[in-house]
Amino acid sequence: MVHHPAFRVGKKPFVIVGFEEATRGTTLSINLGRDAQDSLLSDPRFLKTPYIGQHGWVTIAYKQLSEEEMRTLVVDSWRRVATKRQLAELTRPAQPAGVTKPAQPAGVTKPAQPAGVTKPAPRSTKPAKKRRAAR
């Protein structure tokens, strides 16, 4: 069995590196979905990826890609499998290096909770389990 290096988000691959030394050299297989796959296959550089092409994967020789094309394809594929939180982090403006959240000024504390006031216990969203009757 041949294993190819894969870039993943959790367990979901979005780019797989292949080695076709005899024919095309190093290749990248990228999942962009079926709609994008149809338009990319009109470019002769792209091929439908064997075995997984029916899921929207295309393959291209690494040496046939410009750096900008590769970046765009990889980021678009990553966006397909990224979580909502990861997508939000990508669009959030980056903080300059060394900048952290401001510390709370010395002597400032949270206001005390009034005596006799307690927070209600959090409610479970799961339904209560049914107990079996003793036999």
Domains (range + CATH), the chain = 6-90 (3.90.1150.30)
pLDDT at position 105 = 56
pLDDT at position 121 = 65
Please list the alpha-helical segments (H only) found in the chain: 33-40, 67-81, 84-91
Give the separation between CA 95 and CA 20, rounded to whole angstroms.
41
130 or 34, which is more confident?
34
Q: Which of 24-28, 60-64, 85-89, 103-107 comes out lowest in average pLDDT?
A: 103-107
pLDDT at position 66 = 94
Contact 31, 80 (CB under 8 A): yes
Contact 68, 91 (CB under 8 A): no
99 or 44, which is more confident?
44
Take residue 120 and report the two structure tokens written for it.
Answer: 């209600």
Q: pTM higher than 0.75 for the full model? A: no
